[in-house]
């Protein structure tokens, strides 16, 4: 743990239906940080040595037999999930619950490497106005969009977002685009509260200064928010989410707790008759995410604060772990 090594390795030719991609940019995900610093997340330990990174963009190098529509030099966002397309969940459109899912950076090597062979279906063309660095946001934005499909917000409703890391920030931006009337961000790191305001939060609360639940209740006349998204699942944030929601409200757990067991104030949820949603990655929202990034770059792109070359990945991850230097979204440049 806590140590990256750069090694040489051979890459075979792309097989039938595959495309060989030169990886150029990879966003650093919170789960990458957990794997780096803790050796896993929740009930899923990482198997070392492991190539991390699953928010990639790159350029086509060559295509395998039977591939059409892609040429050398084409720019693409790269989807990290490999689905079987045969199980009951794939057949019913719930691909993120595939019984035979392989996820690059957890089950198999990820994208902090120069060359990758992928099924052609895992490549998505980029809008012309997006850089490769910008395009790395497609994967975390897909998760935010999936959470909003699980629990859609209605025009004029209010929402609280716990955690203003990248997925929390993207959730805030998406909520405002979808018509949320007021969004509170709850975040202990000052630089990330500033980023939350930049992407659309109406209030950015420091939980170390005042109880965010009391503040939300005060702002809503003791009613609570219509929706609460917990993108942190850290400390007491799950229970704070339950307390901040109105009666018959919706609570969405987007984050992944580090702990195996997470205490939950069940009777708060029961008395309010809350609806609780759980989010597992995304489910084919990638095209929609790229389109949104292309149409609203000013809304989403400010969260990218640092781009570091691959040979600086070790200090870059240490910076990220310490929330140092105002880091929001970190992107690793393999160019």
Q: Domain map of the chain by residue range? A: 18-140+282-333, 143-278
Find tokens 């109406």 and name the residue.
202
Query: 194: buried, middle or exposed (CB in 10 Å: 19+, 13-18, 0-12)?
Result: middle
Please choose, from the candidates 109, 28, 57, the residue with its C-alpha nearest in 3D space to the C-alpha of residue 321.
28
- CA 59, CA 76: separation in Å to the nearest integer? 6
Q: Chunk the chain into consecutive blocks of 10 residues (it has 335) and report each block's average pLDDT, rounded to whole numbers.
A: 92 97 97 93 88 98 98 98 98 98 94 98 97 98 97 97 98 98 98 98 97 98 98 97 98 95 96 97 97 96 97 97 97 96
- What residues contact 276, with CB distance under 8 A and at least 6 apart? 250, 251, 253, 269
Find tokens 């979204």 and name the residue.
329
Residue 46: predicted pLDDT: 85
- What residues contact 155, with CB distance under 8 A and at least 6 apart? 178, 179
Residue 48: predicted pLDDT: 86
Q: What is the arrangement of strands in the sheet containing 275-278, beginning at the earlier edge strand?
A: 203-205, 182-186, 158-162, 225-230, 245-253, 275-278
Its CATH class, for the domain covering 143-278, is alpha beta
CB neighbourhood size of 257 (10 A): 18
Find tokens 């190539």 and name the residue.
51
Find tokens 């195996």 and name the residue.
260
Whole-structure pTM value: 0.97
The DSSP annotation for 207-257 comes to TTTS-HHHHHHHHTTT--EEEEEES---TTHHHHHHHHEEEEEEEEE-S--
- CA 29, CA 36: separation in Å to the nearest integer? 11
- CA 147, CA 313: separation in Å to the nearest integer? 30
Its CATH class, for the domain covering 18-140+282-333, is alpha beta
Q: Do domains 18-140+282-333 and 143-278 have the same CATH topology?
A: no
- CA 158, CA 237: separation in Å to the nearest integer? 18
Residue 47: predicted pLDDT: 85
Query: b or e along 151-168 (b: 16 or more beta carbons within 10 Å of the residue's beta carbon)?
Result: bebeeebbbbbbbbbbbb
Q: Phi and psi for 107 in degrees, rounded to 5?
A: -85, -30
DSSP 114: S
Residue 120: predicted pLDDT: 98
């Amino acid at each position: 743990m806590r140590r990256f090594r750069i090694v040489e390795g051979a890459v075979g030719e792309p097989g039938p239906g595959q495309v060989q991609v030169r990886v150029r940019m990879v966003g650093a995900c919170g789960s990458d940080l957990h794997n780096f610093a803790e050796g896993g997340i929740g009930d899923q330990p990482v198997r070392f040595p492991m190539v991390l990174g699953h928010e990639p963009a790159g350029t086509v190098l060559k295509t395998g037999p039977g591939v059409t529509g892609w040429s050398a030099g084409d720019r693409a966002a790269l989807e990290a999930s490999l689905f079987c397309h045969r199980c009951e969940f794939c057949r019913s459109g719930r691909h993120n619950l595939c019984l035979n899912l392989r996820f690059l950076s957890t089950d198999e090597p990820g994208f902090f490497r120069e060359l990758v062979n992928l099924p052609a279906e895992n490549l998505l063309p980029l809008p012309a106005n997006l850089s490769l660095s910008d395009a790395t946001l497609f994967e975390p934005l897909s998760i935010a969009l999936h959470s909003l499909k699980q629990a859609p917000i209605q025009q004029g409703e209010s929402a609280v977002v716990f955690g203003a890391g990248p997925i929390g920030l993207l959730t805030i931006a998406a909520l405002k685009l979808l018509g949320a009337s007021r969004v509170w961000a709850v975040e202990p790191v000052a630089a990330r509260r500033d980023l939350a305001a930049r992407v659309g939060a109406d209030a950015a609360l420091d939980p170390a200064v005042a109880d965010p639940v009391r503040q939300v209740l005060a702002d809503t006349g003791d009613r609570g928010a219509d929706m609460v998204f917990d993108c942190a699942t850290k400390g007491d944030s799950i229970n704070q989410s339950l307390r901040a929601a109105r009666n018959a409200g919706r609570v969405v757990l987007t984050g992944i707790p580090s702990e195996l067991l997470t205490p939950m104030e069940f009777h708060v949820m029961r008395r309010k008759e809350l609806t609780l949603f759980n989010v597992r990655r995304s489910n084919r929202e990638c095209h929609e995410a790229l389109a949104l990034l292309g149409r609203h770059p000013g809304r989403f792109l400010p969260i990218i604060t640092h781009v570091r070359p691959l040979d600086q990945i070790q200090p870059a991850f240490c910076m990220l772990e310490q929330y140092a230097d105002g880091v929001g979204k970190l992107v690793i440049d393999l160019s």
